[in-house]
Structure 1
């Protein structure tokens, strides 16, 4: 049972939703043969590679690899967890997600999270009410001075923590909230004498929501000389600042429409940007973008624009962020802010049109790195030029587009008065240390290409024709699959069918917990690659994988035999030698059989 929701409810809910009709609400689809195709909502493409099967009730993109059933689509499209996706789909069908069939521990975990979210939402409402009272006129004046409209303040649920040591705590205690829960959520702190006091005092409050809009934490800005000027909730059962983004709930619908996210550092940067029409802006909640935050944003777009402060700390945070997104294959650019201005200041001073110009003039990641390196190595010396070049070569090699890479290479040649030939020589020198590893990897790839095809093909056969499972089991079953992902899918499929379940492919996807496994099943099931001779293909797959299995066992026995020889156990060593010779003959026989028929996998 995936998550904490009863399995029969998950299956029945999925069966009530026709996947083509549902996905059409997000993606324009056209009928093509038995399937429907459209432009993938998860990556930018010009030629449709996104396929939806009404027969199998699954989707798969042959461009980016994402695929699965309707639950997976909702999780990817809306950035939801599995339980959240179930709740979302249940709501569209007018159903309530049941909480039966939960173990006591599971029920306790769910109830605790719901309780804590409820407490945070109570606190958020308290802060909001305080903001619009007469005693908060100073805060209201501050917001007006910043040019923030009441409507945008309400959209972001802004609030005010009174200049009092216990007003929030007393309010929540009066609502029968346990003191320990207030401490756990970082709303209250216990002093050495054992008394509770409010963590947030005389601060403008920024409630922090998850992608679904549930309040998971708070940020506070001091309204006097208190330090620090800003601080967030501590890490709690609900909140981890390295995993969340400020304003994501408000922005997520616009990230896909604009196919772009603009990353800023501050709460007010985000709110002001939204007020000026830049609804694709979100804020990091720490000193730099984290990998988890980047992966969360990749559910919506692969185009990141960094818009951090122009000071040294902002530059360092930008470079760290570029390192992360480059490893993830994300396209990145950097807005160069005027010195001394953050996005909030700039928008209020210069307005929407000028900020649009900054976005249009954003430097691609490579050019930003070059700019920062030339600022670091200011003197126009040969040594400094070489330092810059050596720092940029690894970055240059990671650029996937040959045209883009060639363009930057020419840029470097012109900028530093080097010939392109000299730069190529430097690149070659850098690569020399990697050549041996590359050759080994290429050789390994050549060796396993036939096995990969056999593994993929065999899994495709048994998923489409479960009646072949018994024959596969005779050859070794799950042992034949040398990659854990394939083995996991085969085992689950076999176990479910052995248990008497007449499962459909969308059932299998739901039962698989591994996202990569879900996508692999969708890819396999939507493959339209024809099989000219199914029986021969099955035989070749089985023999190829069986030969590999025997090879592995021979190696294991040989290692064991060497151990016996070192220990002086001659009898055991000779016995193993006989077993190995028998296995070698078995392997030779299979190789001969495969060769005589002409191996389909090598065609």
Structure 2
């Protein structure tokens, strides 16, 4: 198993040099308890410590919420970083060089230079806001009810129309070409350079490591457009970033939810009122990439909309995006004519929180909007089913698809089987009776997960699984691939626990739970566990094969195809005669 951009040997060296207890201690107060350390879990609210760290195994596990993994996983969870960022930060701390191809190294160097330039600009903008050139900007923020303390928290600044920015960049060795490339300076037709964001209040957009990746500038005059963003680059893609997420990370974890709004000042105003679990889109429609980013912190996503028709149309689009991303999101509708900034200033924080608490599932809102009125014509009812089915066919998550089909049928007042068949067939799935329900594959999953856990924890279990080609029994291709890679890691004399970050979250958590001496596998004969799982998976696989062959045989009988009937009957006979054990 590899980590993609860095060798496993390097990952192991990083983990040896930076003990997990040392890293976790920066976030959690730990106390020694036997061979492990315990403390209050940083991933959920609790009063009694259920969070355990094993220095011997290099793993953590929470018995309250089930979070678990190694030092990379911990930083990915608590900081919201991707794997690369976690490795780079720990490698720097450990003094371990990361070797990379020259082209990749050049791209990394270019990104770091861009971050440095944007940081210089951000500091210059903050100085300008506090100086004489920022007088009008300060008056604007005061008019909007934004305090200087709140402005400082979010790094808000001001870009004057004079030469202050160019001079600040030049003092730090930033060339004109660099400033133009990263969207800080523009060039007029006569060759004169000018600040691209002149006359705008500046909002720095930070990534999850805290680096300024770009800016959004809000005019305080009558300029158009009202908002101007940095150009799209390798480090700044509007559809993949959220204003305020870096600042809101801890509040999101503490509250267990995140609220998505449209305006940057909405975020600042709400945070100023004590509601800090709020982020804003970048002047674009809510995207699946942004949803996936938020899922690193919480599964409860609230999206705030205006109460007018435009807001409700936006909510319909947001439901489709959320469903396609596999997220069960909720909608918050404010009183008509209000946005979060105006509402919190006029009604107060308690009224805003009450509105958040009244959030309705986006799915319910969408289906109710599509539902025909009582007494509607058959054509209108058929159109409603068709419109909803067209959306459901794009939902890839099987569990969410199942829930949405049931809820849609209930709210539309139509037969569930009718809607299920329409959505399923549109998704290109088999229409042969009897249909295999989504939950059938889900029922197989516990044995698959347990088998992968046993393979990760035991060389002997891995060898047993490899000898019997256990991967062919999995209904989940992803878990089959993980199981095979773990077994291959054992065969190469690698420790799979050192690459735990590459495993699915449920595997990470269960393995970590075992490592701290708890969980259903603690003390179990892992080889026997693997054998039992393989036996159950074989039974399930054969049952699925039997159901498919039986359905095909019935279809052949209805068609009167004697040759196909004979072939299928023989295959069924052979399947019945196969031995029961894997």
User: Is the TM value for this pair above 0.5?
Assistant: yes
1:158 Cα offset (Å):
1.1
Calculate the TM-score normalised by the size of structure 1: 0.71
> Which is greater in Rg?
1
1:209-228 Cα distance to aligned partner (Å, 9 max, x none): 11222100100111222111
Quote the residue 1:416 is aligned against.
none
SS of residue in 2 equivalent to 1:245? coil
Calculate the TM-score normalised by the size of structure 2: 0.73
1:215 to 212, 220, 231: 212
Q: Aligned in 2, Cα 1:477/1:124: closer, same or farther, shift over 3 Å?
A: same
Q: Aligned in 2, Cα 1:400/1:483: closer, same or farther, shift over 3 Å?
A: closer
1:112-167 Cα distance to aligned partner (Å, 9 max, x none): 21111000001111111111222321111111111111111111111111124x55
Quote the residue 1:576 is aligned against.
none
Could you tell me which runs of 5 or more consecutive residues in structure 2 were left unpaired when the two chains were aligned.
Answer: 393-398, 546-570
1:382 Cα offset (Å):
2.8
SS of residue in 1 equivalent to 2:232? coil
1:497 Cα offset (Å):
4.8
**Contact 1:184 1:237 (8 Å CA) reproduced:** no
1:152 to 150, 153, 171: 150
1:245 Cα offset (Å):
0.6
Q: Residues of 2 paired with 1:45 and 1:438: CA distance? A: 50
What is the alpha-carbon root mean square deviation over aligned residues? 5.1
Quote the residue 2:79 is aligned against.
78
1:359-378 mapped onto 2 (5 Å cutoff): 359-366=356-363, 368-369=365-366, 372=369
Q: Which moved more, 1:104-113 or 1:490-499?
A: 490-499
**Contact 2:59 2:70 (8 Å CA) reproduced:** yes
Quote the residue 1:509 is aligned against.
500
SS of residue in 2 equivalent to 1:442? coil
Q: Aligned in 2, Cα 1:484/1:104: closer, same or farther, shift over 3 Å?
A: same
Q: Residues of 2 paired with 1:74 and 1:140: CA distance? A: 37
2:140 to 126, 139, 142: 142
**Contact 1:260 1:303 (8 Å CA) reproduced:** yes
**Contact 2:333 2:359 (8 Å CA) reproduced:** yes
1:338 Cα offset (Å):
2.4
1:10 Cα offset (Å):
3.4
Q: Residues of 1 paired with 2:242 and 2:441: CA distance? A: 44
Q: Residues of 1 paired with 2:219 and 2:208: CA distance? A: 26
- The reply to whether residue 382 of structure 1 matches residue 379 of structure 2 is no
SS of residue in 2 equivalent to 1:307? strand
1:279 Cα offset (Å):
0.7
SS of residue in 1 equivalent to 2:436? helix
Q: Aligned in 2, Cα 1:315/1:478: closer, same or farther, shift over 3 Å?
A: closer
Q: Aligned in 2, Cα 1:191/1:522: closer, same or farther, shift over 3 Å?
A: same
2:348 to 351, 357, 361: 351
Q: Residues of 2 paired with 1:27 and 1:75: CA distance? A: 15
SS of residue in 1 equivalent to 2:119? helix
Q: Aligned in 2, Cα 1:426/1:195: closer, same or farther, shift over 3 Å?
A: same
1:205 Cα offset (Å):
0.9
1:145-544 mapped onto 2 (5 Å cutoff): 145-164=143-162, 167-191=164-188, 196-328=193-325, 330-366=327-363, 368-369=365-366, 372=369, 382-383=376-377, 386=381, 390=385, 409=410, 423=413, 426-433=415-422, 434=424, 437=431, 442=436, 462-466=455-459, 484-486=477-479, 488-489=481-482, 492-493=485-486, 496-497=489-490, 499=492, 501=493, 503-509=494-500, 512=502, 515-516=503-504, 519-520=506-507, 523=510, 526=514, 528-529=520-521, 534=527, 538=531, 541=534
SS of residue in 2 equivalent to 1:207? strand
1:425-476 Cα distance to aligned partner (Å, 9 max, x none): 54343234348649566289879988x7887676555544425766766666
Q: Which moved more, 1:452-461 or 1:225-234?
A: 452-461
Q: Residues of 1 paired with 2:180 and 2:402: CA distance? A: 49
1:211-249 Cα distance to aligned partner (Å, 9 max, x none): 222100100111222111112112012100111110111
SS of residue in 2 equivalent to 1:382? coil
Quote the residue 2:555 is aligned against.
none
Q: Aligned in 2, Cα 1:306/1:129: closer, same or farther, shift over 3 Å?
A: same
Q: Residues of 2 paired with 1:390 and 1:589: CA distance? A: 40
SS of residue in 2 equivalent to 1:189? strand
Q: Residues of 2 paired with 1:312 and 1:297: CA distance? A: 27
Quote the residue 1:565 is aligned against.
none
Could you tell me which runs of 5 or more consecutive residues in structure 1 were left unpaired when the two chains were aligned.
Answer: 414-422, 553-583
SS of residue in 1 equivalent to 2:201? strand
- The reply to whether residue 117 of structure 1 matches residue 138 of structure 2 is no
Task: Kindly tell me the number of residue pairs found equivalent between the two proteins.
Answer: 533
1:27-60 Cα distance to aligned partner (Å, 9 max, x none): 8999999999999876899999998766644456
Q: Aligned in 2, Cα 1:330/1:461: closer, same or farther, shift over 3 Å?
A: closer
Q: Residues of 1 paired with 2:140 and 2:191: CA distance? A: 35
1:280-327 Cα distance to aligned partner (Å, 9 max, x none): 111011332111111111122222222233344333222222223344
Q: Residues of 1 paired with 2:71 and 2:24: CA distance? A: 8
Q: Residues of 2 paired with 1:441 and 1:370: CA distance? A: 25
Q: Aligned in 2, Cα 1:5/1:193: closer, same or farther, shift over 3 Å?
A: farther
SS of residue in 2 equivalent to 1:246? coil
Q: Residues of 2 paired with 1:446 and 1:192: CA distance? A: 66
Q: Aligned in 2, Cα 1:471/1:258: closer, same or farther, shift over 3 Å?
A: closer
Quote the residue 1:562 is aligned against.
none
